[in-house]
Amino acid sequence: MVAIRAAAVGEAAVADDGELALVVPALSVDELCRRVHPRLVGALRLYLGDAELARELAQDTLVRVVERAPEVTAMERPDAWAFRVAFNLARSRLRRLGAERRAHARSGPAPAEARPVDVAGAVAVQRALALLPPRQRQAVVLRFYGDLSLAEVASAMGCRPGTVKAHLHQGLAALRGAGLADDDTDPALEEPT
């Protein structure tokens, strides 16, 4: 019997049972980080509506990828794992910001803060995405911006592919209703052949 496993280049190719093993080089953590970083930043930017926070959370995600490099690079879908971590961090940050806002509201009005003008925030797509429920928004961003397959989106969201299809269908219908899509087909629901 021939076993297949991921291994570092130059590692002995002998299986535990002493038989010959086919060694598939593992994805390097550096290669994974370079490949996924721009997509993480973009997806988080669309999800959160804040470019700086998106960059920060993408970096936090990559720190976790590096901390768990051996297990992450050996995964079947390391990109989907990174997106799942990123969106978990984003949801945690949103919960924390919500708690801070509630605490500030109880303590009285906060002094006015100057925020930089976000020109890209005026884009119609971002406004329409912001109106979607969080799970639909996450599915649309991961599928179209993150360029993940349905299976990878499902893995990143921690749900079944059928649930992803439902979120995509509903999200695309809402975007069409906002005049952002005029096609009656759902290319998001079809896997490439």
Helix 29-48 vs helix 51-67: angle between axes, to the nearest 10 degrees? Answer: 150
Q: Would you place residue 106 in the very low, low, confident or very high pLDDT band (cuts 50, 70, 90)?
A: confident
Report the Cα 76 to chain-centroid distance in Å: 16
Rounded to two decimals, what is the model's pTM? 0.57
Q: What is the pLDDT of residue 89?
A: 95
Please report which confidence band the pLDDT of residue 189 belongs to, taking 50, 70 and 90 as the band edges. low
Tokens linked to 133: 């429920």
Mapping DSSP onto H, E and C, the string for 39-75 reads HHHHHHHHHHCCHHHHHHHHHHHHHHHHHCHHHHHCC
Average per-residue pLDDT for the chain: 80
> Is 162 within 8 Å of 176 (Cβ atoms)?
no
Task: Give the contacts of 134 (CB within 8 A, at least 6 positions apart).
Answer: 91
pLDDT, tens digit (0-9, with 9 covering 90-100), for 116-174: 544 543 467 788 888 999 999 999 999 988 899 999 999 999 999 999 999 999 999 98
Q: Is 98 exposed, middle or buried (0-12, 13-18, 19+ CB in 10 A)?
A: exposed
Task: Indicate where the chain has its CATH 1.10.10.10 domain(s).
Answer: 121-193
pLDDT at position 103 is 81
Could you say which of 1.10.1740, 1.10.3710, 3.30.2320, 2.30.30 is the CATH number of the domain covering 27-105? 1.10.1740
CB contact at 8 A, 82 and 152: no
pLDDT digits (tens, 9 = 90+) for 51-75: 999 999 999 999 999 999 999 989 9
Percent of the chain with pLDDT over 70: 71
